[in-house]
Structure 1
Amino acid sequence: MITVYGMPSCPDCETVEKEIRGNENFRFVDIGSHVGKMKEFLRLRDKNPAFDEAKKNGYIGIPCFLREDGSVTLSAEDVGL
């Protein structure tokens, strides 16, 4: 299962969330719904080089796609969307 970190208030995340709705291969985590979910995302973001460009340009780095093998991408196309 691919975990998608995002927030419904983010237009790109909203689009992805609608696209994956009902697809059991994906799970959407709303990082704004609980501080624990935000911390989970920030631990990933702080340590993973996939976010380097986003951080350099002042972006949050969502939507973020965490694959089952632990790899991360910020590209929906990379996960078949």
Structure 2
Amino acid sequence: MEIVTLYILKIKKKIKKNMIKVYSMPTCPDCEAIDKLVAGNPKFQVINIGEHVRYLKEFLKLRDSRKEFDRLKKINDVCIPCFVLEDGSITFNPEEVGLHVESKGASCSLNGSGC
């Protein structure tokens, strides 16, 4: 019984590693569109950074330590939705993870220029 449990735990860890993490918030228009596209897709793990402070801290640690965010931070962008790929690389482009989203023109940037 113990061996089976260990095996199942290893499988779960492997599955989580093969997911694309999506950092988002439901109040962000671009995130809302992404969340709808990935709902029910086991390839994606949606992390709502507004749901719990631990998720926000996880995202802020990533945002404050990775150079991929620098360009967006300079224009006061919140940097969501953010996609962390299986290999640890980061993108903000939904098409790079196989998603196509049509922009509605709404904004979640601090300066009003877009998400």
Give how far 1:50 is off: 1.1
Q: 1:13 aligns with which of 31, 39, 50?
A: 31
Distance 1:27 1:18 in 2: 12
Number of matched residues?
81
Larger Rg: 2
Q: 2:77 aligns with which of 36, 59, 75?
A: 59
Distance 1:17 1:27 in 2: 10
> Over aligned residues, Cα RMSD in angstroms?
0.5
Moved over 3 A (4+): none
Identity %, equivalent residues: 53
Q: 1:42 aligns with which of 56, 60, 63?
A: 60
Q: Secondary structure at the match of 2:78?
A: coil
Q: Which consecutive residues of structure 1, in runs of 5 or more, have no partner in the other structure?
A: none
**Residues 22-79 of structure 1 deviation map (CA, whole Å, 9 limit, x = unaligned):** 1000010000010000000001101111111110000110000001111000110111
More strand per residue: 1
Query: What does residue 20 of structure 2 align with?
Result: 2
Higher relative contact order, structure no. (Cα contacts within 8 Å, ≥ 6 residues apart): 1
The two structures have a TM-score, normalised by structure 1, of 0.98
The two structures have a TM-score, normalised by structure 2, of 0.69
Distance 1:61 1:70 in 2: 16
Q: Which consecutive residues of structure 2, in runs of 5 or more, have no partner in the other structure?
A: 1-18, 100-115
